Amino acid sequence: MAIDRVMLLEMYRRMNLIRYFEEAGAALYKRGLVKGTLHTYVGMEASGIGVCMALRKDDLIAGTHRSHGHNIAKGADVKRMMAEILARETGYCKGRGGSMHIAAFETGSLGALGIVASGVPLAVGAALAFKMRGEDRVAVAFTGDAGSNNGAWHEGLNMASIWDLPAVFVLENNHFAISSRIEQMTHIEDLSIRAQSYGIPGIRVDGFDVLAVYEAATTAVARARAGEGPTLLVTESYRFDGHYAGEPQVYRDRSEVEVWRQKDPIPRFRSYLEGQGIATAAELDAIVEEAKQEIDDAVEFAKASPEPDPATTMDNIYA
Amino acid sequence: MIAPERDAISLVATTPTMSPDLIRQVPDGVPAKLLSYQEAIREALREEMRRDPSVFLLGLDIGKHGGAFGVTRTLWEEFGPERVRDTPVSENTIAGAATGAALVGMRPVAEIMFVDFAGLAMDQIATLAAKLRYMTGGQCKVPMVIRMAQGGGGGKSTAAQHSQSLEVWFAHIPGLKVVLPSTPYDAKGLMKAAIRDDNPVIFLEQKALYAFKGLVPDEDYVLPLSRCDVKRRGTDVTVVASGYMVWHAMVAAETLASEGISVEVVDVRTVAPLDEETIGASARKTGRVVVVAEACRDYGPANEWGMVVMERAWDQLKAPVVRVTGLHTPIPLANSIEASVWPKSDSIIAAIRQVVGRLPRGGH
């Protein structure tokens, strides 16, 4: 499919933004500056970018606990994201949510969610509302491989299927829950066949190939927007970091991770862009430098921001 | 604690009946109809759906079937299957889809058939809907209602998994509102308020009261959430109660009036957020309080009201607060043993006598 150059370079830019954001976040975490946990998306950038950049601003995404990448891919401001990670008043959630609940609503994101698969019913409801109001908006729910064993996931796909809801269910198979492998926890190898239980299309795509993900997502989104119903999109991925930043990862060998690192989606996409003559090395370097700088600025902004005032502890419990 | 009396105690010549006259909320001369609790809820749903296109219903068998308790009868015929939507048996996603729709500007009213099924939906209700506004720093709101039938008694009890009173599950979660109306008048006015409220509201419908009738004004009205209603004014004892127990409290009050004991009955109406001020004011006035709830004893809602009384009427209390509650047991089926599980007016009368008995003879 033909994608214009501006879009391709923006994809590259955002992939780098995510990568540097995660690395900066992990570094801050290891220095004890991040409250709670941090689940990084390193290695999975192509999956989130391919999906989110196939969406309009007024389409919605519902995330997982590992959704920094989803939010950045959907257009979130990394300053406000970093401030939220560091629990500052200037964060998207005013320091109330942190990494696992980070939500940039203005970009069409319902945010990260700390309960596995809980975004699926939310996306079903949003898609239902869109359909009832005659809007051509689409709702996308992300889960991991582990999330697709949760009851909510199955309930949600079923409900979306019976009503032909404008939804896309993206299953990012990174092969692990925390320490348990998907091979131990499911009886099937190809998770996309779960779509058959719900009579909807199931697509399986290389999650390290941003353009393959983008193409598959575009097809699924178009289907939804045309009123033809939901799709299950499985992106075959792997997380290079542990479940959380700094995890000892006793459940897998470093050598295993190194094999998967060869598939890193960012250098792969870079090779494509240079090889196809879409951009020069200098142009791409400039994009990378700019992304690094933007993240550095975000860290400074976050560090300089105030923490929430205790007088506001009880704000926003009720509307 | 006063245990519910096992034998029928009749200390007065006649026992007041639970007729519409026992709880009168509409002044004489106001145009009104006699509606059942079930009909009153339906009227609220109908009027709000006519008024606001973003209001829609979802749940099991609520469409053509009219709902397991008949509450949504005729609404499918008027509003169609899109707005009165039958769902699969997927309670977590019924609640979650309602949450998602609310997040993007709809006002869903979801039905979970029995409060006992709420366990299946607690993740979406308590861990998501209740907390999304707070966790996101106020970026969103969840204007939804979840209706659930609760409680036993009135011949509709179907034992342990279909008869519970679980308001405390929800009342304990910051971010939820919990309503438990006792009359048709309150049910209609509070349902309208719940639908118009911008927060997730758990609307608990007392099964035993579905057939109870009461006057409902013809003219439109909305009642405030988080406001108790003093159903009967008195000076000697305050009885704080909710739901079906309000009726038993009113029978007790009527009975004791002939003995010269003046009982004030405070109907909680909104379990959470609680109108502590009305409870406190009544407790300060009478100095003697009995708290009554159908829910089983331990960690039940009446304990909260007792604590509120302690905090707000410490100097005025003439006796400790006495609670009257359901027995702390799963609910059995057989009438012979089910009869003793829940409080009735005689156990409330006994509790009132206990708090009153603390005063020296002849004085206040």
Tens-digit pLDDT profile for residues A168-194:
999 999 999 999 999 999 999 999 999
**Residue type at A13?**
R
In this prediction, residue B359 carries a pLDDT of 44
Closest CA to A87 of A69, A77, A99: A99
Going by pLDDT thresholds of 50, 70 and 90, the confidence category of residue B154 is low
> Which residues of A are less than 8 Å from B82 in CB distance?
132
The amino acid present at A197, given as its one-letter code, is: S
Chain B neighbours among A 128-157 (CB < 8 Å)? 128-130, 132-133, 139, 151-152, 155-156
Q: B156: pLDDT confidence band, cut at 50, 70 and 90?
A: low
Contacts with B267 (C-beta within 8 Å, 6 or more apart), sequence order: B182, B186, B228, B229, B230, B231, B241, B242, B246
User: Quick one: pLDDT at residue B158?
Assistant: 86
**Confidence band of B151 (pLDDT split at 50, 70, 90):** very high
What phi and psi values does residue A170 have, to the nearest 5 degrees?
A: -100, 120
Q: Which of A99, A116, A128, A133 would you mutate first to test chain B, the one with the most B CBs within 10 A? A: A128
* Residue B107 touches partner A, C-beta closer than 8 Å: no
CATH number of the domain residue A173 falls in: 3.40.50.970
| Cα A224 from Cα A169, distance rounded (Å) | 11
Task: Over range B331-345, report the average pLDDT.
Answer: 90
- In-domain check, residue A39: no
- Give the distance from CA B146 to its chain's centroid: 14
Contact B93 A121 (CB under 8 A): yes
Whether residue B124 and residue A118 make contact (CB cut-off 8 A), yes or no, is yes
* Cβ contacts from A onto B, under 8 A: 135
For chain A, what is the domain count? 1
Percent of chain B with pLDDT over 90: 89
B226-356: same fold as B33-217?
Answer: yes
Q: Is B56 on the interface with A (CB under 8 A)?
A: yes
Tell me the pLDDT band of A2, cut-offs 50, 70 and 90: confident
d(CA A17, CA A290): 9
Write the residue in B90, B105, B123 that is nearest to A129 by C-beta.
B105
CB contact under 8 A, A105 and B106: no
Residue B148: band (very low, low, confident or very high) from pLDDT cuts 50, 70, 90: very high
Residue A197 is assigned to a structural domain of this protein: yes
- A249 in any annotated domain: no
- What does the pLDDT read at residue B14? 58
Per-residue confidence (pLDDT) for residue B16, from 0 to 100: 79
Cross-chain CB nearest to A121 (options B88, B124, B135)? B124
Domain boundaries, chain B: 33-217, 226-356
Q: What is the mean pLDDT of chain A?
A: 97
pLDDT tens per residue, range B81-122: 999 999 999 999 999 999 999 999 999 999 999 999 999 999
Interface check for B95 against chain A (CB to CB < 8 A): the answer is yes
In this predicted model, what pLDDT tens digit does every residue of B51-79 receive, in sequence order?
999 999 999 999 999 999 999 999 999 99
How many Å lie between the alpha carbon of A108 and the closest alpha carbon of chain B? 10
Residue A153: inside a domain? yes
d(CA A204, CA B90): 27
**Burial class for B257, CB neighbours closer than 10 Å (0-12, 13-18, 19+):** middle
| Chain B CB within 8 Å of residue A81 CB | no
- Domain at B226-356, CATH from 3.20.20.220, 3.40.30.10, 2.40.50.100, 3.40.50.920: 3.40.50.920
**Which candidate in B65, B162, B172, B328 is catalytic?**
B162
Name the token pair of A134: 């005659």
Asked if residue B189 has pLDDT above 90, the reply is yes
Shortest Cα–Cα distance, B268 to chain A (Å): 20
Confirm if A167 and A141 have CB atoms less than 8 A apart.
yes
- Written as one letter, the residue type at A196 is Q
Backbone angles phi, psi at B241, to 5 degrees: -150, 170
The half-sphere exposure of B319 on its side-chain side, counting CA atoms within 13 A, is: 23
Q: How far is B55 from chain A (nearest CA, A)?
A: 11
What pLDDT is stored for residue A10 in this prediction?
98
At residue B17 the predicted structure's pLDDT band, cuts being 50, 70 and 90, is confident
* Residue B93 with chain A: CB contacts under 8 Å: 120-121, 124, 152, 155-156, 159
- Is there a catalytic annotation at residue A68? no
Say if CB A92 and CB A85 are below 8 A apart.
no
- pLDDT band for position B9 (cuts 50, 70, 90): very low
Binding-face residues of A in 40-79 toward B, CB within 8 A: 60, 62
Top residue of A90, A124, A131, A137 to mutate, by most chain B CBs within 10 Å, is A124
DSSP string of B5-49? PSS----SS-PPP--GGGS--S-TTS-EEEEEHHHHHHHHHHHHH
pLDDT value of residue B299 = 97
CATH architecture of the domain covering B33-217: 3-Layer(aba) Sandwich (3.40)
Q: Provide the residue range defining the domain that includes A232.
A: 54-60+110-237
- pLDDT at position A35 is 87
**Is residue B207 within 8 Å of residue B68, measured between CB atoms?**
no
Q: What is the DSSP string of A39-80?
A: ---TT-HHHHHHHHTTS-TTSEEE--SS-HHHHHHTT--HHH
Q: What is the ipTM of this complex?
A: 0.97
Q: Peptide bond preceding B174: is omega within 30 degrees of 0, i.e. cis? A: no
**Would A69 be classed as within a structural domain?**
no
| Of residues B103, B134, B143, nearest to A122 (C-beta) | B103
Q: What does the pLDDT look like over A253-287, one tens digit per residue?
A: 999 999 999 999 999 999 999 999 999 999 999 99
Domain contains A5: no
The answer to whether residue B102 neighbours chain A at the CB level (below 8 Å) is: yes
User: Is A231's pLDDT higher than 90?
Assistant: yes
Write the DSSP string, B58-69: EETT-STT--TT
Domain-located, residue A118: yes
Chain A residues with CB-CB distance to B176 below 8 A: none
Residue A173 CA to residue A175 CA, distance in Å, equals 5
Under the banding of pLDDT at 50, 70 and 90, the label for residue B155 is low
